[in-house]
A and B are shown apart, each in its own frame.
Chain A
Amino acid sequence: MQRVGDSLPVKWTLIVLALVLTALVLVVPLIEIVRQALAGGVGELLDNLTNTYTLSAIWLTLLIAVITVPLNVLFGTVLAWLVTRFRFLGRRLLQTLIDIPFAVSPVIAGLVYLLLYGRNGWLGQWLAGYDIQLMFAWPGMVLVTLFVTSPFVARELIPLMQAQGRQEEEAAVSLGARGAQLFYRITLPNIRSGLIYGAILTNARAMGEFGAVSVVSGMINGVTISLPLQVEQLYQDYNTVGSFVSALLLAMLAVLTLVIKGLLEWLAERRQQRHSKVAEDV
């Protein structure tokens, strides 16, 4: 009997095709980034890395991520819980609304925030009365990043929680679990993988976002320039090496995020194995 995957020519054509495409689309550009960053030697790379503007771009990028990720993890979890565990009027509408940041171009998101919170927007005017400026400063960049990355966690969790249903949670409640107990002992372990993946995506996008932040940044050197903006800024300054050093930093942050994700998954798996072993022993 023939089975799928038996045909050797098909198998090898597909493998070669996949490898070539991966090399062209992923590996070659990555190598090129490293090559360009090292074009002026290690010394120039270090100079560009320790440049005050680059350091400030790194801090700003980390600051944006550090604020955005926890807030959106919280927001996404609450939203997914609400949408999958409760029935209410407008539930479907809410589910559609979550996707808006996916649907609109980030540049438009930036522009809308600028027109709302800028000097001429009604919210901006109200805030200016208290001497608070959000746009063209880091809080504005955090704000638009929050918007752009808001769907990631919820989008990961909603299908997961829908598939799992609520039997386990109902069982826990009938056994007398309180709200917090229910969340930490039943819900959280079940959605952990989705939550981690959502957080990773949120983080990657928060660090890499260009369009929305470029609209509200004002491009002030050393103040409102995050790493993706710094890549463009240095390129326009005719500093190709510096530009690629910033690009390399961004790529490394992405790799680091993936490593952390792998580590967390590995830890979770190990714990699960230990748990099931304990269960078997009992």
Chain B
Amino acid sequence: MPARHVLASLFAASALGASLFAHAENVTLLNVSYDPTRELYQQYNKAFSQWYQKESGDSVSIQQSNGGSGSQSRSVIEGAPADVVTLALAYDIDAIADRNAGVPKDWQKQLPDNSSPYTSTIVFLVRKGNPKGIHDWGDLTKQGVEVITPNPKTSGGARWNFLAAWSWALKQKLGDLGKLHDPRYAEEMKAATAYARDYVRDLFKNASVLDSGARGSTNTFVKNGQGDVLIAWESDALLASEKLDKGNYEIVVPSLSILTEPPVAKVEGNVKRKGEAAEKAADAYLKHLYSPEGQRIIADNYYRPRNTDGIPQQELRLFPKLELVNVDEVFGGWAKAQKTFFADGGVFDQLQQR
């Protein structure tokens, strides 16, 4: 690719020239992200570039890529030149680290809050007036209810949906999730697991469309008018009900859901090759997500901020308090959950064989 080399060296030369005069550099970073963060990072990328230019003098332009979390992780493993990854769940970054594709093994300890600058949860989006009377997970398996959820094989959101449904079913049977890891309740636990299996199988029997990403599902539900209930990221559900088509949808908050922690990480292996300025910028890019400005943009885009200082009440009111379980407590972490439920031949595959 000689043309590319020429271009690259021209670019390097101009960057060198610029640095001789102003000590400022031009840096381009690529953020490979999951599906529903499009609006969030569009806004954040702009804000960050401005802030960073003022802060360091370097000008950073951020390229953005969005897609199903699992497929995005796979792309990075196959060599997509991501400088930072901002994915739907920890396992998808673990997968990059495990294959030595540029992320260190201890990536989740590099930033506060498990490297997740924002959280979200899983809720239901139903049509105006809630014609099918959906109030909790139990209503989703009723006959004649058409459920829309993405495919857990490719979508991170769908895997959260699955685990949230499973947790609800366990709680339903056990009454108290504290019994989960208590050997005295082993028998009860077995029955609860069987119940959860049946429940989730029935749930997916009612699922008419399995899109590959969360965005595809929201489009199926909102734009194409298919289905009675969408199991969605709270952020996507709020975007649809508050902005896209205000008044035509209602959010139903179930009795129990899961705390989703979409994590972020620097892809050292890729960004290192771009030089020190790029590496600094990538670090700042992720750190700035935790700053008041970053948290404000996060709340603006319907993700739950870690730090609510200075965020207007009317935005915080959109995030109702509900019982949230944690993937570590119920499932023993993402690595285990992935292996049990979503790997080839795992529970999801078994349930699909009808």
Contact = CB atoms under 8 A, between A and B. Distances in A.
Nearest to A132: B1
Contacts, number: 63
11 contacts: A115-B78, A119-B78, A135-B78, A135-B79, A136-B75, A136-B81, A137-B81, A218-B81, A220-B65, A237-B38, A238-B223
Nearest to B41: A221
A114 B78 contact: yes
B10 interface: no
B64 A220 contact: yes
A268 to B, nearest CB: 35
Given A236-B35, A237-B38, A240-B223, A222 B63 contact: yes
Interface in B226-285: 244
Contacts of B75: 136, 218
Contacts of B219: 235-236, 238
Contacts of A128: 79
B244 A220 contact: no
Interface residues of B, number: 27
Helix, strand, loop or mixed for chain B's interface?
mixed
Contacts of B66: 219, 233, 236
A136 B79 contact: yes
A276 interface: no
A139 interface: yes
A132 B2 CA distance: 9
Nearest to A218: B80
B1 A219 contact: no
Given A236-B219, A237-B38, A219 B67 contact: yes
Nearest to B36: A236
B210 interface: no
Interface string A113-144: 01100111000100010011111110100000
A119 B79 contact: yes
A128 B102 CA distance: 15
Interface residues of A, number: 27
Helix, strand, loop or mixed for chain A's interface?
loop
A62 interface: no
Interface string A208-225: 000000000011111100
Given A236-B38, A240-B223, A133 B79 contact: yes
B4 A124 contact: no
Nearest to B5: A131
B42 to A, nearest CB: 9
Contact of A136 (B4, B80, B215, B216): B80
B95 interface: no
A235 B218 CA distance: 11
Interface in A187-217: none
A223 B63 contact: yes
Given A236-B38, A236-B215, A221 B78 contact: no
Contact of A221 (B1, B64, B101): B64
B169 interface: no
A218 B65 CA distance: 7
B22 to A, nearest CB: 25
Given A119-B101, A219-B66, A132 B80 contact: no
A134 B80 CA distance: 10
B327 interface: no
Interface string B46-71: 00000000000000000111110000
Contact of B78 (A120, A137, A139): A120
B207 interface: no
B30 interface: yes
B77 interface: yes
A220 B63 contact: yes
Interface string A228-268: 00000101111010000000000000000000000000000
Contacts of A221: 63-65
